[in-house]
């Protein structure tokens, strides 16, 4: 029963995280969902809500990683999911710097990055790489259909995250869609984790 509860954490983490940031983004003044990153929701007077969201998503993902270690087909894959979870927790500890003009009155790119902002970016990058790698590691632990889905998820997750990073770096033609691209990327990642949880639960 304990193992099943740990695996269920991987099934609910993504939907909870997604609903939370969608509600926050829709209700935050001056926040543009299409333009601004999810992490920017941690800035401002109500930023604590996204910070809590990072912590909840990270703790649920960490529990899922433990469940994968105990019941899943790949210890390496479980460690990579654990790295993703730790990156989410770190994103809650270290706040991002303002970007793309949010909060209002801040520049599109900060002239001087803060230590917290640098740590947020570096640790988040490590988490993104870990999750993409987990897609490829777990691809070889099942049917051909699962392998194709996992590899495609890893490629699309990594590719869209690169595009989102370019948008937040103010790449012309992408900057006004950076938030949308990042949300597509994160949804791909969370959806794959949920499918991994379902597959492991029924394995």
- Over residues 70-95, the pLDDT tens digits come to 997 899 999 999 999 999 999 999 99
Q: Is the pLDDT of residue 1 over 80?
A: no
User: Which whole number is the average pLDDT over 158-186?
Assistant: 97
CA 7 vs CA 10, 53, 67, 113: distances in Å: 5, 19, 5, 38
Calpha distance 5→16 (Å, rounded): 16
Residues 6-35: pLDDT tens digits?
999 999 999 999 999 999 999 999 999 999
Residues 56-74: pLDDT tens digits?
999 999 999 999 999 978 9
Calpha distance 191→197 (Å, rounded): 10
Q: Give the chain's mean pLDDT.
A: 96
């Amino acid at each position: 029963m304990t193992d099943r509860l740990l695996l269920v954490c991987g099934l609910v983490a993504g939907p909870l995280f997604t609903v939370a940031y969608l509600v926050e983004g829709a209700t935050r003044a001056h926040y543009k969902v299409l333009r601004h990153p999810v992490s920017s929701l941690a800035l401002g007077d109500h930023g604590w809500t996204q910070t809590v969201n990072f912590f909840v998503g990270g703790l649920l993902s960490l529990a899922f990683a433990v469940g994968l270690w105990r019941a899943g087909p790949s210890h390496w894959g479980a460690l990579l999911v654990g790295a993703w979870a730790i990156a989410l927790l770190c994103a809650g500890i270290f706040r991002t710097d303002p970007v793309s003009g949010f909060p209002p009155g801040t520049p599109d790119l900060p002239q001087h990055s803060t230590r917290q902002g640098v740590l947020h970016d570096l640790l988040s990058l490590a988490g993104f790489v870990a999750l993409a790698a987990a897609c490829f590691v777990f691809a070889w632990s099942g049917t051909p259909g699962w392998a194709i889905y996992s590899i495609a998820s890893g490629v699309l997750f990594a590719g869209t995250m690169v595009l989102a990073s370019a948008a937040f770096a103010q790449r012309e033609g992408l900057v006004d869609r950076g938030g949308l691209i990042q949300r597509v990327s994160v949804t791909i990642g969370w959806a794959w984790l949920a499918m991994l949880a379902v597959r492991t639960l029924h394995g």
